[in-house]
Amino acid sequence: MAKILKAKEMSKCIGCLTCMSVCAGVNQQNHSLSKSRIRIFTKGGISGRFTAEVCQACREPACAEACGAGALTLRKGGGVLLKPDLCTGCRNCVDACLVAAVTFDEDTQTPLICKHCGVCAQYCPHGCLEHKEAAD
């Protein structure tokens, strides 16, 4: 069964950004935080709580609907998978994402979209992220 990523215990997050670093390293072979498919930030400055911005594994993803090139295909369990060879770099998927979880890699000219591999959850030292079975 397919799994999805959820930010379940963000009250425990200390902002170490390990999840972002390991995501970028595994998925982009680059440890720049700008290459991560998950983003951790705070809305209240240094005293605010941390929030995870990540793909919500939509069943009817707006990003895929906006892709005129057919580069985004539905993923079992929700969300999408990118076919980089079909991507034209138009950024329509970035604009269409309702939760701002899709960003754009200026180097590869392709979107950065979570594929729900779970590596970020695996390395989170405080168990803030969960890689769980997708609901049917």
Confidence of residue 69 (pLDDT cuts 50, 70, 90): very high
Residue 136: the pLDDT is: 66
| Paired tokens of 118 | 């779970």
Residue 116: the pLDDT is: 97
**Tokens 């609907």 found at:** 65
Q: Quick one: 15 and 41 in the same domain?
A: yes
Q: Quick one: 82 and 119 in the same domain?
A: no
Residue 34: the pLDDT is: 97
| Paired tokens of 53 | 């911005």
Confidence of residue 84 (pLDDT cuts 50, 70, 90): very high
Range of the domain at 62: 57-113
Residue 58: the pLDDT is: 96
DSSP state for residue 61 in the 8-state scheme: -
Q: Quick one: 78 and 122 in the same domain?
A: no
* Strand pairing report for 50-53 and 72-74: unpaired
Q: Of 115, 110, 55, whose CA–CA distance to 86 is shortest? A: 110
Cα 108 versus chain centre, distance = 17
CATH of the domain at 89: 3.30.70.20
Element containing residue 6 per DSSP (H, E): strand 3-7
Give the three-class secondary structure for 129. Answer: strand
Task: Look over the chain and give the mean of its residue pLDDT values, rounded to a whole number.
Answer: 95
Q: Quick one: 107 and 119 in the same domain?
A: no
- The pLDDT tens digits for 19-63 are 999 999 999 999 999 999 999 999 777 778 999 999 999 999 999
Number of domains in the chain: 2
| CB environment 53-89: b (16+ within 10 A), e (fewer) | bbbbbbeebbbbebbeeebbeebebbbbebeeeebee
Please report, rounded to a whole number, the percentage of residues in the chain having pLDDT higher than 90. 92
Q: Quick one: 71 and 92 in the same domain?
A: yes
Q: Of 20, 13, 17, whose CA–CA distance to 51 is shortest? A: 13
Residue 1: the pLDDT is: 81
Residue 3: the pLDDT is: 95
